[in-house]
Structure 1
């Protein structure tokens, strides 16, 4: 009997690894496609938004990145409801194809110098498609993976999905760093920036093949078997007071808090170091790679820790650490950058900058490590996909995605490179307080209910 049980556990473990790899690779591609734009925001500014004022061009480029984030909730509403009605797997195939098409087209776009105003118009249109796709994928993939993970060690087993965003940035940043090292600045500006988008063609083919082999989740199959599916899941969510409350908690505390930290740590730091701190782009890309590598074990540790002590204390710890640490960290980053520019042959400043980026990554890891499991655990099975994806993408799109734009705009309004950082500081403080008072512990929740 023990041998049979051990064999079954081995088969279940192998099956889950196969499902997790396929799901995670598709999500990696979504993040890679979506965030390559953010990594190249500084490059896009003169190519698609030429202006006599470099700050205005950068602001326009960041605003275009933000447009893709704004429409994410629309994609979440559409694809999230579809996931509750027709199944998690079919939605995965639609979103990955849409994202891949839009990203490849970005790599083929003519610039402003070639077609004038049509260049930024087409770029914005493709960002809209990317945003719709990301809205259906990011959040829905968390539900899919968590429902396959079972009731044991969900925090750790699902935390791997949270590595896909940093891995997407890492792969994108590494490519760009290599391209910059092999190409002259003129060559990179002329055609080198297109290469990461062209590579999406190969990644898309691999992701589609992997996803075709995916199985529907056992939770959804059980709902179909018992005829418990809801025709209007999104409407049902808003009618139920407890679901509404949990959607708000997911939006404000978990998803928005994680998004603010993600875009501060993984996106805005690079923009800040390149523009405000004036560090060389190649050096910033290298530092970003090291900080992202450090984020991987920290995220898995946070997922594991949430299985031991609960999701709630781990998430609150990350929110508080971010609220306390973000603004002082950027102030020190600015000072260290000035020291480096005065004496670039001295490496001490660069090492300290790298350590600061790793410390920021710890705050992010504590929030996003348990996040995948929390997205599914907060809601009942029959409306879980729509209930989780809408607030998650609303937070990621409207709070996190607009953060680089808002912080840059506030810096310009208030006349300082650090003034805008009061926005994420205040937001994270509020999220931590609300989570402390109202967020339920979901560690041992049965996902079939």
Structure 2
């Protein structure tokens, strides 16, 4: 790739990644504040019931992601990748800003949770079109060399979105009293998204359509019914299942275990102070960033398959033991004030982040490489969002419910452990190696 094309790709990557960063920031700020939302929008005499309701509302946004993927993924194959990006970014921005102005249950009663759930549905539809479609867009611009490395940066947007949100919340908690934070401080991250939306919209206006789609248009090879045609083709259907079960579900489970559920677990089960948990989450994200890029680079050297399978195996082996150890170390800190306990929790956080990085580092490239050009957007976005929405997005709710059913704090973690082990076996046997695939075919 010459200097001019490298500069052009860098501009495209920055614009695409910033928009995806905003999508993740908007979408996951809700998860970061799930514990805060519970008493504000779902008041109950039982704190566990309120937390479950809050997590269920977060899960609703994830559940409708496949519907957004089907709608916007199909449009991406029919009218182009760029127009879809413009629509999804506006939808997400409007929904997120609106959350910041919602009245609470104490102010309007039952209408508060109804409005909150409605905005989560709109966020989910938008995320379904964005997340997955952006991977296809960036990979088609990346060319056929070093795709794993060049596209791995897109996977940083989710952690960076959480990092930006978490840092804001940590600073707000530091400068505001608990009463001020519950009254209006929690709204600030949602208000800030209007500024990010304007920046992202301007950046996306400068995006170019992908060369692969332009070639399809020129050759008149676009599919009229891409979603239906994908399910009729046995090879595409098989690869959609592999993407769903192995790559996207595995990545989603690890992502929500590491980036979402761990913080909830440390705050509610271990009962560590929120400020400490927020900074531990920041540390985990900082570790994840270089590990993700390294994993993408390694996938260019040794192949996508061994890196992804390695991450699934590592995740299945350490998830449950890690959370049991979190509980033990957290209790030591609360009883003895041991700084070493916090350092060890941070080290475990890093190990979980490494497993996540191995799966998601090559993921952007894999999403595009598994499918032919004319059906790539719809074939990649639907299973990817189905996995993220139904498997990953519901994970905090399912794990919390299993824990409450069995009366322990870690019983529910056998669900992600078993899932990751099964995904590793399936990927080892059936997942093809794709690092040398020509994306124009």
Bin for the TM-score computed over the shorter chain: over 0.9
Q: Does 2:257 match 1:264?
A: yes
- 1:63-82 correspondence to structure 2 within 5 Å: 63-82=56-75
1:11 aligns with 2:9: no
Distance 1:436 1:447 in 2: 23
Q: Distance in 2 between matches of 1:117 and 1:302?
A: 46
- How far does the alpha carbon of each residue in 1:232-274 deviate from its partner, in whole angstroms, 9 at most, with x for none? 0111100000000000000000000000000000000000000
**RMSD over equivalenced CA pairs, Å:** 0.5
Q: Which runs of 5+ in 1 are unaligned?
A: 1-7
Distance 1:47 1:213 in 2: 40
Alignment match of 2:168 (pick from 152, 168, 175)? 175
How many angstroms apart in 1 are the aligned matches of 2:284 and 2:375? 37
For 2:182, what is the secondary structure of its paired residue? Answer: helix
- The one of 412, 416, 422 equivalent to 1:424 is 416
CA distance in 1, matches of 2:102, 2:225: 39
Q: Deviations over 1:131-184 (max 9, x none)?
A: 000000000000000000000000000000000000000000000000000000
- Runs of 4 or more off by more than 3 Å in structure 1? none
The aligned counterpart of 2:268 is 275
CA distance in 2, matches of 1:377, 1:385: 11
Q: Deviations over 1:27-55 (max 9, x none)?
A: 00000000000000000000000000000
CA distance in 2, matches of 1:291, 1:127: 26
Deviation at residue 76 of structure 1 after TM alignment: 0.1
Once the two structures are TM-superposed, the CA of residue 343 in structure 1 deviates from its matched residue by: 1.8
Give secondary structure in 1 for the equivalent of 2:74: helix
Structure 2's unaligned 5+ residue stretches are none
Task: Say whether 1:255 aligns with 2:255.
Answer: no
Q: Return the TM-score normalized by structure 2.
A: 1.00
Q: How does 1:165-244 map to 2 (within 5 A)?
A: 165-244=158-237
Distance in 2 separating the partners of 1:347 and 1:332: 15
Residues 38-53 of structure 1 aligned to structure 2 (within 5 Å): 38-53=31-46
Partner residue, 1:374: 366
Equivalent position SS for 2:96? helix
1:386 to 375, 378, 385: 378
Instruction: State the match for 2:438 in structure 1.
Output: 446
Q: How do residues 335-354 of structure 1 correspond to structure 2 at under 5 angstroms?
A: 335-344=328-337, 346-354=338-346
For normalisation by structure 1, the TM-score amounts to 0.98
Deviation at 1:208, TM superposition (A): 0.1
Residue in 2 aligned with 1:3?
none
- Shift in Å at residue 191 of structure 1? 0.4
Paired position in structure 1 for 2:114: 121
Which whole-Å CA distance do the structure 1 matches of 2:325 and 2:253 have between them?
Answer: 20
What is the SS of the residue equivalent to 2:209? Answer: coil
Task: Report the counterpart of residue 111 of structure 1 in structure 2.
Answer: 104
Q: Number of aligned residue pairs: give it.
A: 441
Partner residue of 1:21 out of 2, 6, 14: 14
Please list the CA deviations of residues 193-250 of structure 1 after superposition, one character each: whole Å capped at 9, or x if unmatched: 0000000000000000000000000000000001000100111100000000000000
